[in-house]
Structure 1
Amino acid sequence: MSQNVPYASPADTAVHGEYRITRAPGDERPLYRFTGRITADGSSGFAAEPGRYHIYAGWFCPWAQRTTIQRALNGLEDVVSVSYVDGRRDGRGWAFRETYGPDPVNGFTLLRDAYERTEPGFDGHISVPTLWDRRTGRVVSNDFRTIGIDLATQFGRWSNGADTYPEDLRAEIDALDARLGPAVNHGAGAAAGTGDVALAARALLLETFAELDARLATSRYLLGDRLTEADVRLWVTLVRYDVGPNHARAVNPGLAAYPHLWAYARDLYQRKPFTGTTDFAAFTEPGASVPDWHAPVERPLPA
């Protein structure tokens, strides 16, 4: 370890305990305390500007990958910077270690430091992605649902014009996510368990996979011939499915059981914004076999 680079000590639950999320009484949801928004005109207090914002991400995290994919899809790599926390966590929360390098913005050793600087005594959820504002020296947001949308919509002056959250499709994108979120993004993990809850989650997941397979038999993307935020939201779960919740094939034989869905997932993976933001080593269960994501894709659909 370099004497000039600050790193956290190794994760050690025996010393620091397990990570705990403080929740409101009767509410099991993590507390996403920071919900600031970036706006093109600065009306929110956080104006879209090149070089101003930094994303603290995690290679292991599907919600963080949503934001890094949007960053790449919209050509914002030189506009919004990104760095990655280590994938191991103890009671201190996520940390910066040699695995992925130090915090390049503030030199923090723990992501908690960013939250404490923003709100001393912070007792909410310390999560990735976290959006940091260099100008004000504070966390803007740790709401994964909106960070990617702001990247896709508020940086038009510097983006490549990808328009992955177009106004005419926003209602459809959000309605589809309202269905796929519980059934797939949250349901995949539940489906791998045992008991009645797992059986119900499994039935819903596989039913939804079948519906998606039928949809993608005649559609290049979820909403026609345009790649949108809906595809990003679904894909981060698909890429983890057979090496994460279904690594032991406890749910079904694999994503390849749905040929159109599997081809769609590979089609996206083989594009740089998806390939370049994916590290299978960060989320593959020990002993799991990674499917051939580089297998040729034949989809006779419009580009």
Structure 2
Amino acid sequence: MSYVNPEGDFNRDTKYIETRITADGRDGYPVEPGRYRLVVARACPWANRAIIVRRLLGLEDVLSIGFCGPTHDERSWTFDLDPGGVDPVLQIPRLQDAYFARFPDYSKGITVPAIVDVPTGAVVTNDFPQLTLDLSTEWTEYHRPGAPQLYPEPLRAEIDEVSQRIYTEVNNGVYRCGFAGSQDAYESAYDRLFTALDWLSERLAGQRFLVGDTITEADVRLFTTLARFDPVYHGHFKCNRQKLAELPVLWAYARDLFQTPGFGDTVDFAQIKTHYYVVHADINPTRVVPKGPDLANWLTPHGREALGGKPFGDGTPPGPPRDGERVDQTL
């Protein structure tokens, strides 16, 4: 399977299943406790967003979660972490089975995160940007006491603006570097990426979080890329002007979030490295997974408290991860 675009520029297909799960059920899928299953892979940055938001909002008892393994083939993500390679709730070995249950001729990529309707076994949505916003705004009846306001109405316009630039220039920017098929395409992508990282460094030099005084959806979206930067994107995707650990403001910001309950405790560095270095065989044909970098420094003091703000505002952090959802994290 080839990921590099031989024509030069990498262009992501952004057409997703736009069905939404809403409080009023206008798309035919009302919010109901226990009805849906969130399918993710810890390796995937887009899925990592959903894992974080579900945990921050305390939706564990309302929305079950299924974990795919860190690698996949051309057909689908698979449940190879589960006994017998079958998801214990959906009773399927491949996520594609849920896509085909709703769209028998589905021809696009089988992506995570995806939410599946358990009674029918059919996928509802894989629209990852809207999915996390809906968890914040449509599932409010089931948020835990003290849950953060990740998408507060007064700040939505600014969150949307910042998030859009983060998506095009950073979240997708690293892929544009890694999957570029020509020198010119790569260098253009590289310049765009580091221009955006410099902008973020300037923005975060004087404020603790991206928008307002608490964590928001924008911070979630940036964090999942920053967490993967040194283990994967710096080398594998050739994003090597500097390591994250050599960008003082962003490195301190990333450590601040990593040490905040709900963020770092969702990150599985071993699965992340396995995914990128094994699956992208056209970039890394040996499939050898790097041993480094040393990750213990994620737990060092960051000093960002001096900028004010509180991660959860007047709310509270989530409790420890649930049994079966803990990351085997050796830093």
Map of 2:329 onto structure 1: none
Q: Which amino acid aligns with 2:203?
A: R
Partner Cα separation in structure 1 for residue 239 and residue 163 of structure 2:
25
Aligned counterpart for 2:301 among listed residues 285, 296, 299 = 296
Do the aligned residues in 1 keep the contact of 2:190 with 2:239 (CA within 8 Å)?
A: no
Identity fraction in percent: 39
TM-score by length of 2: 0.78
Equivalent residue runs for 1:97-246 within 5 Å: 97-98=80-81, 102-160=86-144, 161-191=147-177, 195-246=183-234
Identify unmatched segments of 5+ residues in structure 2. 4-9, 278-288, 311-331
1:283 aligned onto 2:288: no
Given residue 135 of structure 2, which amino acid in structure 1 is its aligned partner?
A: L
Worse overlay, 291-300 or 242-251: 242-251
Residue 255 of structure 2 corresponds to 266
The separation in 2 between residues aligned to 1:102 and 1:276, in whole angstroms, is 25
Displacement of 1:33 in angstroms is 4.9
Q: Report how far residue 28 of structure 1 moved.
A: 5.8
Cα distance in 2 for partners of 1:150, 1:270 equals: 25
2:7 corresponding residue in structure 1? none
Closer, same or farther: CA 204–142 of 1 in aligned 2, 3 Å = same
Deviations 1:190-229 (A, max 9, x none): 3356612221222222222122112111111001212111
SS of 2:235's partner is coil
Instruction: Verify: 1:256 aligned to 2:242, yes or no.
Output: no
Deviations 1:87-140 (A, max 9, x none): 222232111114686312221011111111112232222111111112444211
Alignment-derived partner of residue 49 in structure 1 = 32
CA distance in 2, matches of 1:117, 1:278: 30
Deviates more, 1:73-82 or 1:278-287: 278-287
Of residues 263-272 and 253-262 in structure 1, the stretch that sits farther from structure 2 once superposed is: 253-262
C-alpha change, 1:262 and 1:142, in structure 2 (3 Å) is same
Instruction: State the one-letter code of the partner of 1:301.
Output: L
Q: Structure 1 residue 181: deviation in Å?
A: 1.4
Aligned to 1:72: 55
Tell me: CA distance 1:207–1:49, structure 2 relative to 1, closer, same or farther (3 Å): same
CA contact (8 A) 1:33 1:142 kept: yes
- Provide, for residues 52-98 of structure 1, a one-character-per-residue CA deviation record: whole Å limited to 9, x for no partner: 11111011100011111110111111111111112222232111114
Aligned length, in residue pairs: 280
**TM-score of the aligned structures, taking structure 1 as reference length:** 0.85
1:62 partnered with 2:67:
no
Aligned 8 A contact 2:75 2:110 in 1: no
Is the CA contact 1:58–1:65 (under 8 Å) kept in the aligned structure 2? Answer: yes
Distance 1:33 1:196, change over 3 A: closer
> Are the counterparts in 1 of residues 76 and 95 from structure 2 also a CA contact under 8 Å?
yes
How far apart, CA to CA, are the structure 2 residues paired with 1:252 and 1:62? Answer: 21
Letter in 1 for 2:219: D
- Per-residue CA deviation, residues 220-253 of structure 1 (Å, 9 max, x unaligned), is 1001212111111111100001111103775223
Structure 1 residue 29: Cα displacement: 4.4
SS in 2 for 1:131: strand
Which residue identity lines up with residue 217 of structure 2 in the other structure? Answer: E
- 1:159 shift after superposition: 0.4
More helix by percentage: 2
Distance in 2 (alpha carbons) for counterparts of 1:213 and 1:76: 32
CA contact (8 A) 1:114 1:139 kept: yes
